[in-house]
Amino acid sequence: MSEPRNDNRSRIPVIIGIVFLVAILGVAVFFAIQAFNTLPDYQRETQATPTPTPAYGSAMAVTRDPNVPTPAPELKRGSVSERVKELQTRLNALGYYTGTIDGQFYEGTENAVKAFQAANGLTADGIVGDQTEARLWSDDAVPASEAPATPTPTPLVANASVPTLSGVLRNGSSGDEVVTLQKQLISLGYLLSSADGKFGPATLNAVKAFQQVNGLTADGEVGQMTWTALFSGNALPKPTPIPLQDLDTSIARPYVRADGLPLVVNKKNPLPDGYQTLQLVNMNTYCDTMIVTIKHGDTLAEREAVDALMVMLQAAHADGITSWQISAAYRTVEYQQQLMNDKVSELMRKNGLSQEKAKQAARNTVADPGCSEHHLGTCFDITVPNTDQFKGTSQHRWLLDNCWDYGFILRYPEDKQSITGITPEAWHYRWVGLPHSTIMRDENLCLEEYVQRYGTPQ
């Protein structure tokens, strides 16, 4: 009898120990669940659903670094990056996007995102935030083929009818169908010139821009798909450029005069003594190289001007005009001196001029040190990679038509040479800000004339 009693007594601490262990385990599990619930959604999503294994050669193949732990900033209209390329690739694989995989987030991509969101029970705002991002890359992402039917959008044009198209229209085509095409491009805001029935570079750019905005392959060729999209009544018109704010005059800028007008630097008005730049940035690292190539290393310019430049070039990309290069921006007085010395030696050597004559001749193309606008850091020599000739390129024409709306001016126009004293330069643009640039365009004034008309004597 005593044995069982002894046994029972000896079991009591063991039972207490087990109860204690179970209690500790319970608390631990409780806290583990709490910790799991407080993980960011993005992390939890990637843990819960493994990244799809890329199948080589499959349309579903996606490449994405699963080791990036922090949620990335949201993608929306205007975003231009490698992540946008990934997004477009994914949307394409899911059947929502048929446009070019170019890393540029405009209407076509936005519409694809909205369609994806609608089909996946998300707010269809066209912005890729954490929720959309997580859903997009999860195995539960509903592809377009399985999306619930959505009501057909109401056509913008009543009784829209698609005219017949006999064949593919492309650069070089002409005739009545080209006139029909051009009229439609004009009414949608893509083409500014008149409908002359000749499919040239302007029509080509307009078609590319239309295709890009409407989520089609931007090849500039008008086949049945592009044609139908143009006349379906659902065609998206050309987006208006992102408006730039007028200059905030509360900031003192060295490149702006006391009366608020752009500072003039030329032969008669050298850079003021002790001139100091405001905030130079290195364009080689500051600029998105998908938008613009920076020809030389350590190319500096004023941040504000570079920001305006990038807004402008993004708009050009949206218009289908790509391939941009910056050949020059900010220059020090010392560097300008070196350019001048080089030019004088070249003229003496090649043309057999005396040093005095060579110096005079050099001044036609090279500004005297201290007299170059490039000292301001607000000017850019804009070119096309791998070509010497800028004049006459589609990039040149685009700038002539559009630079003004982005605060830029063609600084040395052909019809103003007698006033500027500089041989016309198709590639040299200066950022002056709005509204100066649009006034100069509308009243056909070069900077010297503009300052003379509207400035107060300094």
Nearest approach in angstroms of CB 426 to Zn ion is 11
Nearest approach in angstroms of CB 374 to Zn ion is 6
Q: Which is nearer to Zn ion, 184 or 336 (CB)?
A: 336
> Considering only residues 213-252, where is the footprint of Zn ion by CB under 5 A?
none
Q: Which amino acid is residue 358, in one-letter code? A: A
Specify the stretch interacting with Zn ion by CB under 5 A; choose among 227-235, 249-257, 279-287, 377-385.
377-385
Which one of residues 130, 368, 381, 448 is an interface residue with Zn ion (CB under 5 A)? Answer: 381
> Considering only residues 110-149, where is the footprint of Zn ion by CB under 5 A?
none
Is position 428 an interface residue for Zn ion (rule: CB under 5 A)? Answer: yes
Nearest approach in angstroms of CB 287 to Zn ion is 18
Q: Which is nearer to Zn ion, 428 or 436 (CB)?
A: 428
Specify the stretch interacting with Zn ion by CB under 5 A; choose among 5-13, 102-110, 254-262, 378-386.
378-386
Specify the stretch interacting with Zn ion by CB under 5 A; choose among 230-238, 257-265, 354-362, 424-432.
424-432
Q: Which is nearer to Zn ion, 381 or 401 (CB)?
A: 381
| Residues designated as active site | 425
Q: Are 254 and 229 in contact (CB under 8 A)?
A: no
Q: Which is nearer to Zn ion, 267 or 349 (CB)?
A: 267
Nearest approach in angstroms of CB 428 to Zn ion is 4
Nearest approach in angstroms of CB 302 to Zn ion is 15
Is position 375 an interface residue for Zn ion (rule: CB under 5 A)? Answer: no
Residue sitting closest to Zn ion (CB): 428
Binding residues with Zn ion: total (CB under 5 A): 2
Specify the stretch interacting with Zn ion by CB under 5 A; choose among 5-13, 294-302, 376-384, 402-410.
376-384
Is position 317 an interface residue for Zn ion (rule: CB under 5 A)? Answer: no
Q: Which residues bind Zn ion (CB under 5 A)?
A: 381, 428
